[in-house]
Amino acid sequence: MKATEVRELTDIEIVQKIADGRTELFNLRFRLATGQLDNPAQINAVKKNIARLHTELRARELRAARDAAAS
């Protein structure tokens, strides 16, 4: 998921995608431990997506706080 796609999501959708990403990350780690994971690079990709989602959520929080302080 690209940053431009993340910016188009609502806050609720971002939180849901974070939860889905964490579940997917757990499953990938489990498959890695059992030797069933074909592409270990998927783990890093999922971690980066989760981080991207957290970053956008935090940026929105800071923007809202700045706008509230300005008015």
Whether the CB-CB separation of 17 and 53 falls below 8 Å is answered with yes
- pLDDT at residue 55 in the model: 97
pLDDT tens by residue, the chain, 71 residues? 888 999 999 999 999 999 999 999 999 999 999 999 999 999 999 999 999 999 999 999 999 999 999 87
Contacts for 35 with CB less than 8 Å, ≥ 6 apart:
none
Domains in the chain with CATH codes:
3-70 (1.10.287.310)
Candidates 49, 41, 60; CA nearest to 20 is 49
